[in-house]
Structure 1
Amino acid sequence: MATANPRKPLEQRGRKLSIHVVTWNVASAAPPLDLNDLLHLDDQDLNLDMYVIGLQEKNCGIISLLNDTAFEDTWSSVFMDVLSPLGFIKGNKGGVNICLKLYGYYISIINCHLPPHMTNNDQRLEHFDRILEMQNFQGLDIPNILDHDLILWFGDMNFRIEDFGLHFVREAIKNQCYSDLWEKDQLSIAKKCDPLLREFQEGPLLFPPTYKFDKNSNNYDTSEKKRKPAWTDRILWRLRRKPQDDPHIPRLLAPYFSLSQRSYVSHMMYNISDHKPVTGTFDLELKPLVSVPLITLMPEGLWTLENDMLISYTLTSDFLSSPWDWIGLYKVGLRDINDYVSYIWVGDNQVFCSDRLNQVYINISDILETEEQFLLCYYSNNLRSVVGISKPFKIQPCAFMGADPPKDDQPQN
């Protein structure tokens, strides 16, 4: 699940974006009441642009699936209760891979849950390669995932700590001697020899192993199995190899696309699962390859509840429209793309069309009078995404259309 903050205009955030990534194996538990620490909401200086939230082992029983079909699932609901008042909107993609095109750059976001147990390390590495091989978007003008400018890969990767015994590992954790354990971490070992995995970067593991805990405690596994602690929950990233990496090509004066990690931490206060959540906060700096949105939406004239509302929108020359595209009218503070108060199919309701400028009417007769602000979103059926958002505006209440009330000195019939 990905959420983006539309509050900042393009010109203010076109060169630097802050992204907060969350990975958590929630072990079928219900959401906690307090998300402030997990989402860094207490840090007023973060000024985040995007939250990327990946969960594993979210309850997917038949009753849960039926509830999720009819209603929003509880985890999404709790996260959006906190984030929607801050201006964030939930992404509409499902599955393990989300592909974004951001200012002309391709970004892939992968949430995974690899095979467990100490002895299945080869299987984990095989799954890692297989996931990359399978992520080809057939029939769409999207390059192979390895040609994307950025891959953010996170999840319960289940890599364990080899050789060292349980007592040694627990003593190293107790004394915060994490560096003693790094050399036996299976993921760190694999990165040295696996040519594909070697291209992924990871911040230093300066937090305690995040698995396995007794639920509702900060105690590592005290069951009969007494599983050895491990850093199973990880956040990796990979930047595409750029032409300037070739020694025979002169290096550019400044990088056009770079990612730096600001923090990489676990959150020990959360006890609902046998895993602790892990978050990474990143600064993405880029030189935009495109500066104009695919769609620019403009409400025309004074919008009132008395009439259908006229919408003008322009398209860039490379945008491929579809008769199944639609424009939704939303209240500011929407949680999801399905939270529209009204919508219109652009193919059925055009009143004017030129090479670039189009106009449609949208019916607002069912909207109640309110002081709230609204905005318009254009949804592309081909891209399965919102490709244009208007500036906020107000809809004026109906004017009084009856005759003036009679005055006391006028004759009555």
Structure 2
Amino acid sequence: MPPSDVTSLLHLNTGDTNETDMIAIGLQEVNSMINKRLKDALFTDQWSELFMDVLSPFHFVLVSTVRMQGVILLVFAKYYHLPFLQDIQTDCTRTGLGGYWGNKGGVSVRLSVFGHMLCFLNCHLPAHLEKAEQRKDDFTTILHMQQCQQQLEGQAASGILDHDIVFWFGDLNFRIESLDIRFVKYAIANSLLSQLWEKDQLNIAKSTWPILSGFQEGPLNFPPTFKFDVGTNQYDTR
């Protein structure tokens, strides 16, 4: 269930909202039981309703949304930009159970923004420490499967990586490699996060896997986000 207030989550209380033109929100593990899916098919799901209600006073409108079971992607923009957003396409790729189940995979929204081709790609990749190679394989599958349904006039962005800018995010499930959990907790408690970066599976993949060479990640100035004690921001005391 969504929380009652997502103001801080969306940084709407920082005073920077006037500087923000677009907001893309990726959700994973949204309730996708069959009775919930049937209700959401008839009505807007609760998460989407909440974001629309919260963002509309700031002049944002929902440009596009795509859902694959529990994976949802919503793209908002200021209403006065709408005439300059064109060629909007969505796609989804299932990778769970050999491609038959949408609990894992990726959803995307592709569009032209003032003539520049942008792609937002929200993924939920396989879990567990030892599945790093499968995560990379699934990402490759998603990139291969998601080709534009139609060639856009005057545009060369037929595949994900052909766009001018690609935003890749979600529950990517890359873990910290080869470090004892006691050291991980010690490093977190003592703000020694740089010692964890070197063993981050995604950082390792970026230096060894050519397909990631064009991606840039913001600074990891926050503790690992998996796992927390349920209902808290306390890092896994079990």
| TM, length-normalised to structure 1 | 0.46
- CA distance change for structure 1 residues 139 and 61 in 2, over 3 Å: closer, same or farther? same
Deviation at 1:66, TM superposition (A): 1.2
> What's 2:29 paired with?
57
Q: How does 1:153-192 map to 2 (within 5 A)?
A: 153-192=168-207
Describe the superposition over 1:357-405 as per-residue Cα deviations: whole angstroms up to 9, x where unpaired. Answer: xxxxxxxxxxxxxxxxxxxxxxxxxxxxxxxxxxxxxxxxxxxxxxxxx
Q: How does 1:74-153 map to 2 (within 5 A)?
A: 74-94=46-66, 95=92, 96-141=107-152, 142-153=157-168
> What's 2:95 paired with?
none
Describe the superposition over 1:169-218 as per-residue Cα deviations: whole angstroms up to 9, x where unpaired. Answer: 00000011100111111000111010011211101101111111111112
Letter in 1 for 2:57: P
How far apart, CA to CA, are the structure 1 residues paired with 2:119 and 2:27?
Answer: 17
> What's 2:13 paired with?
42
> What's 1:221 paired with?
236
How far apart, CA to CA, are the structure 1 residues paired with 2:120 and 2:109?
Answer: 5
Describe the superposition over 1:264-293 as per-residue Cα deviations: whole angstroms up to 9, x where unpaired. Answer: xxxxxxxxxxxxxxxxxxxxxxxxxxxxxx
Compute the RMSD of aligned alpha carbons: 1.3
How far apart, CA to CA, are the structure 1 residues paired with 2:58 and 2:25?
Answer: 16
How far apart, CA to CA, are the structure 2 residues paired with 1:77 and 1:139?
Answer: 30
SS of 1:129's equivalent in the other structure is helix
Deviation at 1:91, TM superposition (A): 2.5
SS of 2:9's equivalent in the other structure is helix
How far apart, CA to CA, are the structure 1 residues paired with 2:159 and 2:231?
Answer: 43
SS of 1:91's equivalent in the other structure is strand
How far apart, CA to CA, are the structure 2 residues paired with 1:134 and 1:164?
Answer: 35
Letter in 2 for 1:42: N
How far apart, CA to CA, are the structure 1 residues paired with 2:116 and 2:190?
Answer: 44
Please list every run of 5 or more consecutive structure 1 residues that lacks an aligned counterpart in the other structure. Answer: 1-29, 224-413
Q: Where does structure 1 differ by over 4 angstroms across 4 or more consecutive aligned residues?
A: none
> For the Cα contact (< 8 Å) 2:17–2:58, is it kept in 1?
no
Letter in 2 for 1:213: F
How far apart, CA to CA, are the structure 1 residues paired with 2:151 and 2:37?
Answer: 29
Aligned residue pairs, count:
194
- CA distance change for structure 1 residues 200 and 112 in 2, over 3 Å: closer, same or farther? same
Which of 203, 218, 224 is residue 203 of structure 1 equivalent to? 218
Deviation at 1:219, TM superposition (A): 2.2
Whose helix fraction is larger, Structure 1's or Structure 2's? 2
How far apart, CA to CA, are the structure 2 residues paired with 1:185 and 1:153?
Answer: 17
How far apart, CA to CA, are the structure 2 residues paired with 1:216 and 1:85?
Answer: 29
> What's 1:33 paired with?
4
> For the Cα contact (< 8 Å) 2:197–2:203, is it kept in 1?
yes
How far apart, CA to CA, are the structure 2 residues paired with 1:72 and 1:144?
Answer: 29
How far apart, CA to CA, are the structure 2 residues paired with 1:114 and 1:58?
Answer: 15
SS of 2:137's equivalent in the other structure is helix
- CA distance change for structure 1 residues 175 and 222 in 2, over 3 Å: closer, same or farther? closer
SS of 1:89's equivalent in the other structure is strand
SS of 1:180's equivalent in the other structure is helix
SS of 1:39's equivalent in the other structure is coil
Please list every run of 5 or more consecutive structure 2 residues that lacks an aligned counterpart in the other structure. Answer: 67-91, 93-106
Deviation at 1:37, TM superposition (A): 0.9
How far apart, CA to CA, are the structure 2 residues paired with 1:123 and 1:38?
Answer: 30
Deviation at 1:92, TM superposition (A): 3.0
Describe the superposition over 1:209-240 as per-residue Cα deviations: whole angstroms up to 9, x where unpaired. Answer: 111111111222244xxxxxxxxxxxxxxxxx
Q: How does 1:5-404 map to 2 (within 5 A)?
A: 30-47=1-18, 48-94=20-66, 95=92, 96-141=107-152, 142-223=157-238
Describe the superposition over 1:67-116 as per-residue Cα deviations: whole angstroms up to 9, x where unpaired. Answer: 11221110011111111122111133314010010111111100001100
> What's 1:27 paired with?
none
- CA distance change for structure 1 residues 221 and 87 in 2, over 3 Å: closer, same or farther? same
